[in-house]
Structure 1
């Protein structure tokens, strides 16, 4: 039995990424390579989460500037969960090149979907590749 001093159980996110979308395998690989994983602690309404995902997909397709994976599949999966409360999480790859969004049921025990976006490379003044 857990005591008040013990942290809450953290789910094994890598194990939950079981090919719900095409972004799951790269997200698992990012975790294995030391990615930072954050699970947001509150539930949000389906319409908010699904709306944001659909807008990201629409803008990404229109602009064609960023590489995205699993977002089209995520929008389809989220459409099947209308009226539900959902939780979300983020995986930021250790190299900073990829960000993955996780979509969970209200309890955070079932991973529904995962999408990923490749961030544009930003060069710093110290970056030798810029020279």
Structure 2
């Protein structure tokens, strides 16, 4: 899958899709994994992540809407994708159909940039 192919699939499925597309087209890295996971299993996992991010006060985009879409998809097998924005600290998770030809849902989470560890030899 090319960057342009993926960008073309990111429409208005959830409110996180346009920012994910912008991150992708601005040089963000991306991957779509080969394996398939039932949508309802993903709904369970991301419902837990929703609770954790709310508890921590961590900013998210369309996480609740994504959980709803995954739950509605039932046992449909989905592929998972990820976009890491190049210039911001946002990571976007994508949920695509089994053929990776359409995006069902997309969510974003703000991730703190990790600081480089100082050189162990520097004193």
Scaled by the length of structure 1, the TM-score of the pair is 0.81
Q: Following TM superposition, where does structure 1 have runs of at least 4 consecutive aligned residues deviating by more than 6 angstroms?
A: none
- 1:55-101 deviations in Å (ceiling 9; x for gaps): 1111111221x110011110111111001111110001113511100
Gaps of 5+ in 2: 119-123
Gaps of 5+ in 1: 1-8, 127-131
Of 67, 84, 98, the residue aligned with 1:92 is 84
Corresponding pairs, count: 117
- 1:82-128 deviations in Å (ceiling 9; x for gaps): 011111100011135111000011221110000001111333368xx
Task: Check the 8 A contact 2:40/2:71 in 1, yes or no.
Answer: no
CA distance, structure 1, for counterparts of residue 80 and residue 117 of structure 2? 34
Partner of 2:14: 21
CA distance, structure 2, for counterparts of residue 63 and residue 35 of structure 1? 26
Task: Check the 8 A contact 2:35/2:79 in 1, yes or no.
Answer: yes
Of structures 1 and 2, the larger Rg is shown by 1
Counterparts in 2 of 1:44 and 1:125: CA distance versus 1, 3 Å: closer
CA distance, structure 1, for counterparts of residue 68 and residue 56 of structure 2? 21
Within 5 A, what are the aligned runs for 1:23-42?
23-42=16-35
Of 103, 106, 109, the residue aligned with 1:114 is 106
